A and B are shown apart, each in its own frame.
Chain A
Amino acid sequence: MKTVEAPERVQAPPEIAPQPSVLRYRARRVSHKVLMYALLLGVCGFILLPVGWMFTAALKPDLEPIFTPTPEWFPSEFWAWENFRRVLTDVMPFLRYMINTTIIVVANIIGVLISCSLVGFAFARLRFRGSKVLFYILIVTMLIPWQALMVPQFLMFVKLGWYGTYLPLIVPSFTGTAFFIFLIRQYMRTIPKDLDDAARVDGLNAWQIFWRIILPLSTPVLTVCAVFTFLWNWNNLLGPLIYLDSDEKFTVAIGLANMVTLADTPWNLAMAANLVSILPCVIVYFFIQKKLIGGIASVGLKG
């Protein structure tokens, strides 16, 4: 019967010893991989060394020397975990600083996402008189260095009575950021125009097209904008330094700067504070790295 015979014919052909060239090829591929991994691990370790050193320093008790003749890359002797508690609440108010910074960061992200996505949408998808000229003006504003605006802006905010509040650090984000508008516009332009047409025939108005169609499709670029806003504001020292005047309003960046400028810097606490302050960045990156990398790739922007 043919149906019974058939499976036998499918059986693997008798074992033939692989050709020497095949073996050589396989060996080369394996050794290539091993080398790659070794190299990557080495680079990773090298990059992580300073973090290890920070960790070692952060765990030392107060009077223990930090800058030893041979650097201690990993904690071995001292495990003063209470340093973290001290820096967060007891000796330094870093918990407060972090909450303050978070408020500024979240408000900025909200501001950027609302203002820049709306303006980006208008530039990318709506036809209106003067849109090109306006867009070029917007691009030109990217060329003005922040330092040039610093003093006039400061004077303006003082006159408004906003000195010593978070408003000068938050409100500008609601008025749009040229760079993000540019990014979002470029991204939204790549979304097929037919979707707008289909949506219009489906009865959507411009606002609904923005909200229901274009915005959900722009999440990659919006993620990039949100992460950049987070990083910039989390690390921003000059802005808070200019506008904030009391300890309970300070941000992480000011707190860190203040610790280093003290006459007798408590390095173990400074390192603990550093570690605490980079933690949110690490967490954010950990959770959205896939989206971020995809977003950066699709936005055509290198990190």
Chain B
Amino acid sequence: MNRSSRNLELGTNRDNIPRSKAERMTKFKIRMHPARRLLVRAAGLFRHSGFVIRHLQAAAAVAAALLGGCTPPPTRVSYGDREQVLFYGNGAEPQDVDPQIVTGVPEDHIITALFEGLVSEDPHDLHPVPGVAERWDVSQDARTYTFHLRKNAQWSNGARVTAQDFVRSYQRMLMPSLAAEYAYMLYVVTNAEAFNRGQITDFSRVGFQALDESTLQVQLNSPASYFLSLLNHYSWFPVPVSVIERCGPIDQRGNRWTRPEHFVGNGPFGLIHWRINDLLVVKKSPTYWDTDKVRLQEIRFYPIESFEGQERAFRAGQLHVIYEAPLSKIDSYKQKHPELIHIDPYLGTYIYRLNVTKPPLSDKRVRRALAMAVDRVAIATKVRRAGEAPAYCFTPPNTAGYTCTARLPVDVEAARKLLTEAGYPDGRGFPRLTLMYNTVESHRTIAEAVQQMWKKNLNIDVELENQEWKVYLDNQRMLNYQIGRFAWIADYVDPKSFVDMFITGAGNNQTGWSNKEYDRLLAEADRAPNNQQRYDLYQKAEAILVDEAPIIPVYHYSHAYLLSPSVEGWYPTLIDHHPYKYVRLKPRPENLIN
């Protein structure tokens, strides 16, 4: 980290001493801090008292050094740059590093270092590139994928990664008794859903088959052209089932195989240290098939939860990269240190859900009026200010080449007209609605802005109510709300990750909205032979979603974070994945000064 960034808040320090004064000070042979000079002089007064005084002088020198007269010690980051150790502020303590148990983003950051799936990700745009599979064939009907595994892919215990390993991993993932939360990610495979729900118990009927040690065949329900992107989600990563067995039953959640002493993985790094709420360290794995390409020797993940705390640690040269920059600091970094702050697009959308099961929101005209009266540009640029894009439909633009064309424009006149048609001219007689959000400052500011827009544009009053997180989630799930905030972050880079949410009865629909045509279009999309046809169907489906307005899209996410300039091979990607295999640290002179 460069030295001037240290002074971001505290103004000046010794570096700002005018040159002439600094030169005068060098006449004393050593450049001395004023405090140190005082102490040394004070000790000098007693110069003739011999032994005791010599000790006093030494003590004074130590005290002066402590008072900050000397150059600051090298930072952790500069050490990391030299030794290729990446210090990563990871936002939260990982629940576990078992890819079949966890669900979060901090876990994702660690698991992608520890495991590798059939395919891997290109560091620039995350498109699937060969991983454990060196190549694959797709059948004519696009329903059968045959993966040819590379012969030199190894687990960290030296065993070969075989096709059987993958089959056994997927069997574990789908075992009803393991209750893997992301099991549904595998439902594209023939009979996977039936097995996971316990409707069939014979795993050989599920569409995974190891033809030989290095050939894996996967049979899909329908030609899913997003299948390869899906494989980069950690639920598709292989796990060492034989190692897990040794640590306990494979289908139980308390299994300790992910402790550093038992851990076996197949990724570019291995787990060597894990202390809860303190630090997790992964070290370059010599058994990884492409280990020659891996430049980083270690990555240390610090589970620092507060964004402010992360920013302080970054500024003090303790972290190379942080999870997210605090909103309050973004402007100042943009002005003073644009080289440190990165604002990447992020595949997520912030929306308001409308509960369509109760009047007046059961009336489509009311929902549309509300949506058309929310000034997204003002929210993105004045309330948020971290590079978010105003949202007019659910799927963010350019998601794997898909940009939805339908949009509900902001049009206050039309909104008023709709409200009049619905029986509330100029907002008269409109029932008092409640807008709910979970207790977080940034949600409140957005809610207040929206409240004012509705008051000003439609003359309707909306009450704001904040709730503690789990209470909030419970009320959303029980449809015990009228308007509620929600955010959706994609699991994989494909519009399917978004549009599937509003299928009738889907776990995250939670608006009570249901549309037969929408469901039909999405079911047809799942069978579409290629992306073009699939995307066309999504366009039609999303046009329905926009028209019916069970949700008000507010903005598409961005990811604002701080990154040390010494980190190379780190590109802006849509889901905050930065394949560590390509990351390297380049020592910079200013880092050493700091």
Tell whether A pairs with B.
no
A residues sitting closer than 8 Å to B (CB atoms) are: none
